[in-house]
Amino acid sequence: MSTEGDLIARKEGSAGIIRLNRPKAINAVTLEMFRDIDRALDRFEADPEVGLILLEGAGDRGLCAGGDIRALFESSKVNGDLGKILWREEYILNARIAEFKKPYVAFMDGIVMGGGVGLSAHSRHRVVTERTKLAMPEVGLGFFPDVGGTFLLAHAPGEIGTYFGLTGQTMNGPDAVYARFADAVVPSGRLAALREALTKVAPGTSSSEIEILINGFATGETSGPVAALEPRIDQWFAFDRMEDILAALKRDGSELALSTLATLGEKSPRGMVVTLKLLRLARGASSLEECLVREYRAALEVFRSDDFREGVRAAVIDKDRSPKWSPARIEDVTPEVIAPYFAEIGKDELVFDQAN
């Protein structure tokens, strides 16, 4: 079984390999790739000779730099429906991965961002390396951490998730483990040997046995540089209003606080307020699916917004890094401005197939 092209899905030994295959684009994921992954999971789930799924990225730059932002930008400009279709299928796939019946292993080597997080961080076995650069930088695009990112960030220790979600800062491998986005740090030089071992795992092998196998290749690291800053991060980001977070950073006045303040100053004010509310709601969520439904509502509103088009223009299209946000100031992001992001959307609500 082999599908060549932007996605490669084939059996190697007892493993169902899913390889994102757009190395020049750091494996950015398209709608058709999400559909190919879903079809591959159908086949692998039904094949008794497949003991586990292994997700990997082609090339040496990373697993996945995210979704196909340029295509979403073009669709948004003409009031198209790509966002509605792509996010619906992507979020349903994210939920399926989280509940997949067979062990699902993700190699999160190199760059892992946005949609790449959705394909990997909900896996049962999440492997990072010393080269991992994991981030959810969506607030810098006038968006918010989606693909279940609000669920993941809300369950990180203390305010670590709030910090990463609002700043878009990058996690290294050990910090990804600390933030509960990953499970084990494996040196990149040992990935090939681990991969070979995984292809030899007998069908029916339990997840606990696979975890023991992976840990045999791991360094045992469980925290990185950001974890050491958690006491300060907890003080700054423990508020439910962006105004209070910014005020706490100003009051602190340290070099780190001021640099964090400057980072936040580059982000979409509307995106930050929406993100913070989504993160706080996610803390009380009963499931990943509940967060994905909320994210889908907000994503459709983002797709219609000038901030999204302006953020993508500045970061991806023109690359001038000078977005003109609307509103331009946090204090102008009123409850009325963000209310549409949290409204139920009737017949278009996201619905999950309970069979998956």
User: 339: which strand partners?
Assistant: none
Q: How far apart are CA 100 and CA 95, in angstroms?
A: 9
Q: How far apart are CA 105 and CA 262, in angstroms?
A: 37
Residue pair 95/352 in contact (Cβ under 8 Å)? The answer is yes
211: nearest Cα among 1, 34, 12, 52: 52
Catalytic residue among 56, 109, 146, 307: 146
SS3 317: helix
Catalytic residue among 36, 109, 138, 289: 138
**Inter-axis angle of helices 242-252 and 269-283, to 10 degrees?**
100
Q: How far apart are CA 296 and CA 88, in angstroms?
A: 7
274: nearest Cα among 353, 347, 207, 338: 338
Strand order in the sheet with 125-128: 7-12, 15-20, 52-57, 104-108, 125-128, 184-185
**Residue 162 parent element (H or E):** helix 160-167
Q: Is 138 a catalytic residue?
A: yes
- Provide the phi-psi class of 148: left if phi over 0, else alpha when psi is between -120 and 50, else beta: left
Catalytic residue among 57, 62, 66, 67: 67
Catalytic residue among 66, 115, 118, 148: 115
Residue pair 103/161 in contact (Cβ under 8 Å)? The answer is no
Q: Is 146 a catalytic residue?
A: yes
Q: Is 161 a catalytic residue?
A: no
Would you call the peptide bond into 327 cis, given omega within 30 degrees of 0 as the criterion? yes
The residues annotated with a catalytic role in the active site are: 67, 115, 138, 146
